[in-house]
């Protein structure tokens, strides 16, 4: 035995001990809880008492007939895909506009990226000052035009759009810097060659810029999509998921089911569902973009 | 010419949209609660009581101190253990190590909230609630996969000949890492520190679930608690938001380039 250990220490494999701390942490704080979570999702546990019963797949079947959860899933998709699409369109436009290193471009890049480094919770509060009912900045403008004030966040559908908008505002800057880096990597000669061939700006965009930018589009879309699907902070500061359950995302719903409704089993089932959804969506997006990348 | 005018207008409009929220926030913070005038008009008087009061009532200074301790310790641990882990993963591409690498990266997909129930119970069981070490370990765990991904990618590009030369000189494999490889990781370490530092500093989820006593609060948790108490005194809330984001904003204006290139490096290319 000691001989084996000595041989291991002398071999090149000895460096494998260096990933042990990371593995211990990931197993303790992610893998084991994840497996426990799957087990809890098959029970009716309330989160604190000693007893519980196995209820089979009840929590999962319940999910798809529960109007609140269906609304939550729909909202999560709006937060995810709405943000991903708009953030990338905006981010790409900003990148094209502020690509050059002029003074005004630099100022604009600093400004547009700034919300990225601010906490989502605080970003939500900042926009709350705009949309709140009594004396909010938007209602101040309404009054200026003699219109009655509107309780912007009281309507679920509108609040979902506002939350998505805040998320887009906050993270369009990430897409912008990814696209700027990607655009700077495209060799100038390609555009020169296109110019000689008499290509129009639209042609250049379609046949040079977009195909060569595919890796950047890939990472930007997938990252924003996952960010939107996980959305939690902004919702907590703008609406806390309300009115009722109208603006809940999967994240806030998992939280509410556990802490407010003591339904740990159901909450866990929703958590497992969330991991599956995010895994499926992000893997299929990666595969979709991978097939469209071209080699330089 | 027309193109220039259009570009100027669009730029000005974008600048306006991005400045507005901060402008309104500042006006809110500088106005008296009794001031009913439009929030678009700055106050004609100087009034700083909102800032003073929120510091007193909201316990924000303690919260900022807590956040500095938590963020700094977590970032240091992340840098150490992730760079350690990447060394074998980049240098010894055995079947086992490749599998470990793939599994590690896959953990990035698991959102903390999806395992909230078991994680919460587990933190109670190990007495990790309301402790620095509890929340630090959680932050480290959830930031390590991205850090390992970045370090491994970076190390793949460091020539193996360096290792071989050092071994011929009689360096053992582990001290080789500390003496030769680690000093070369400076650039990517800055990226890892910024990416994980920002996400930990701004965190609300973990502090919301796992810090329940007010002496342990971070600014986000303190603010959210403060709002449920003093929700109608929005001037105070605005002042609290400004104070809470000040430290990271100052850092951002000093290290803009590093922040932006960090985002690019952190965008996972599959």
The answer as to whether A136 is a domain residue is no
Q: Check which CATH number belongs to the domain holding A220 and give it.
A: 1.10.3720.10
The answer as to whether A141 is a domain residue is no
* Averaged pLDDT of chain B: 87
The answer as to whether A96 is a domain residue is yes
Contact residues for B24 (Cβ-Cβ < 8 A; gap 6+): A126, A129, A130, A137, B39, B40
Reply yes or no on whether the pLDDT at B269 is more than 50.
Answer: no
pLDDT per position as a tens digit, B190-222: 989 999 999 999 999 999 989 988 888 999 999
Range 34-93 of A in CB contact (< 8 A) with B: 34, 36-37, 40, 47
Range 219-238 of B in CB contact (< 8 A) with A: 219-220, 223-224, 227, 234, 237-238
Per-residue pLDDT at B270: 40
Per-residue pLDDT at B117: 86
Name which residue leads in pLDDT, B243 or B58.
Answer: B243
Tokens at residue A220, please? 């930007």
Cα-to-chain-centroid distance, residue A177: 17
* Total domains present in chain A: 1
pLDDT per position as a tens digit, A134-174: 778 888 888 888 888 888 888 888 999 999 999 999 999 99
pLDDT per position as a tens digit, B97-148: 899 998 888 888 888 888 888 898 899 989 989 999 999 999 999 999 999 9
State how far the Cα of B209 lies from the Cα of A32, in Å rounded to an integer: 19
The answer as to whether A101 is a domain residue is yes
State which residues form the domain around A262. 41-125+156-290
The answer as to whether A171 is a domain residue is yes
State how far the Cα of B269 lies from the Cα of B108, in Å rounded to an integer: 13
Per-residue pLDDT at A295: 55
Do the Cβ atoms of B148 and A117 come within 8 Å? no
* Number of Cβ atoms within 10 Å of the Cβ of A204: 15
Range 49-108 of B in CB contact (< 8 A) with A: 81-82, 84-85, 87-89, 91-92, 94, 97, 100, 104, 107
What is the helix (H) or strand (E) element at residue A194, kind and residue range? helix A188-196
Tokens at residue B170, please? 């009689």
Q: Are B17 and A114 in contact (CB under 8 A)?
A: no
Nearest partner of A96 among A20, A186, A226, A192, judged by Cα? A186
Reply yes or no on whether the pLDDT at B34 is more than 80.
Answer: no
State how far the Cα of A173 lies from the Cα of B212, in Å rounded to an integer: 33
Per-residue pLDDT at A294: 62
The share of chain B scoring above pLDDT 90, in percent, equals 39
Domains parsed from chain B with CATH numbers? 48-266 (1.10.3720.10)
Which residue out of A38, A84, A125 would a mutagenesis test of the B interface target, given it has the greatest number of B Cβ atoms within 10 Å?
A125
Query: Mean of the pLDDT values across residues B85-96?
Result: 90
Reply yes or no on whether the pLDDT at B268 is more than 70.
Answer: no
Do the Cβ atoms of B14 and A286 come within 8 Å? no
The answer as to whether A24 is a domain residue is no
Nearest partner of B194 among B254, B141, B113, judged by Cα? B254
Name which residue leads in pLDDT, B40 or A171.
Answer: A171
Minimum-distance CB partner of A34 among B115, B120, B174:
B115
Model ipTM? 0.90
User: Residues in chain A with pLDDT < 50?
Assistant: 296
pLDDT per position as a tens digit, B50-74: 888 888 887 888 999 999 999 999 9
Size of interface A-B (CB pairs under 8 A): 252
């Amino acid at each position: 035995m000691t001989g084996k250990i000595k041989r291991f220490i002398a071999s090149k494999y000895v460096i494998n001990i260096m990933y042990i701390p990371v593995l211990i942490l990931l197993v303790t704080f992610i893998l084991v809880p994840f497996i426990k979570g799957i087990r809890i999702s098959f029970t009716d546990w309330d989160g604190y008492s000693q007893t519980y019963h196995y209820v089979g797949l009840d929590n999962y079947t319940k999910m798809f007939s529960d109007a609140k959860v269906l609304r939550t899933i729909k909202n999560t998709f709006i937060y995810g895909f709405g943000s991903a699409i708009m953030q990338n369109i905006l981010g790409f436009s900003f990148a094209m506009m502020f690509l050059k290193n002029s003074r005004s471009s630099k100022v604009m890049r600093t400004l547009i990226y700034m919300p990225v480094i601010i906490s989502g919770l605080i970003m939500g509060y900042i926009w709350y000052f705009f949309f709140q009912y009594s004396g909010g900045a938007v209602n101040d403008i309404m009054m200026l035009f003699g219109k009655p004030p509107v309780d912007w966040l009281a309507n679920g559908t509108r609040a979902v759009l506002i939350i998505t908008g805040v998320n887009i505002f906050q993270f369009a800057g990430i897409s912008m810097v990814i696209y700027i880096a990607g655009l700077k990597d495209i060799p100038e000669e390609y555009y020169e060659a296109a110019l000689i061939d008499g290509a129009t700006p639209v042609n250049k965009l379609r046949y040079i810029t977009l195909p060569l930018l595919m890796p950047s589009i890939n990472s930007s879309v997938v990252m924003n999509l996952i960010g939107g699907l996980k959305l939690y902070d902004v919702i907590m500061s703008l609406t806390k998921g309300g009115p009722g359950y109208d603006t809940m995302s999967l994240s806030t719903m998992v939280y509410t089911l556990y802490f407010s409704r003591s339904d740990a089993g159901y909450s866990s089932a929703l958590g497992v569902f969330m991991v599956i959804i995010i895994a499926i969506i992000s893997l299929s997006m990666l595969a979709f973009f991978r097939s469209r990348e071209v080699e330089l | 010419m027309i193109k220039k005018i259009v570009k100027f207008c669009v730029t000005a409009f974008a600048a306006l949209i991005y400045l507005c929220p901060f402008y309104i926030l500042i006006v809110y913070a500088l106005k008296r609660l009794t001031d009913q005038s439009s929030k678009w008009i700055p106050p004609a008087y100087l009034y700083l009581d909102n800032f003073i009061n929120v510091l007193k009532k909201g316990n924000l200074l303690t919260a900022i101190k807590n956040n500095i301790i938590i963020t700094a310790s977590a970032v240091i641990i992340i840098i150490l253990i992730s760079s350690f882990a990447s060394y074998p993963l980049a240098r010894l591409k055995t079947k086992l190590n490749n599998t470990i690498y793939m599994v590690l990266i896959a953990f990035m997909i698991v959102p903390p909230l999806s395992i909230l129930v078991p994680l919460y119970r587990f933190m109670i069981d190990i007495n990790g609630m309301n402790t620095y070490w509890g929340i630090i370990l959680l932050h480290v765990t959830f930031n390590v996969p991205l850090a390992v991904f970045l370090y491994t990618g970076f190390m793949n590009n460091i020539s193996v000949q360096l290792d071989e030369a050092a071994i011929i000189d009689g360096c053992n494999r582990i001290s080789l890492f500390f003496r030769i490889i680690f000093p070369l990781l400076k650039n990517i370490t800055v990226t890892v520190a910024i990416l994980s530092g920002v996400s930990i500093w701004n965190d609300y989820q973990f502090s919301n679930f796992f810090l329940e006593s007010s002496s342990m609060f971070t600014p986000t948790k303190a603010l959210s608690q403060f709002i449920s108490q003093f929700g109608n005194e929005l001037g105070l809330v605005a002042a609290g938001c400004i104070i809470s984001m000040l430290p990271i904003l100052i850092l951002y204006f000093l290290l803009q380039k590093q922040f932006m290139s960090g985002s690019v490096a952190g965008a996972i290319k599959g």
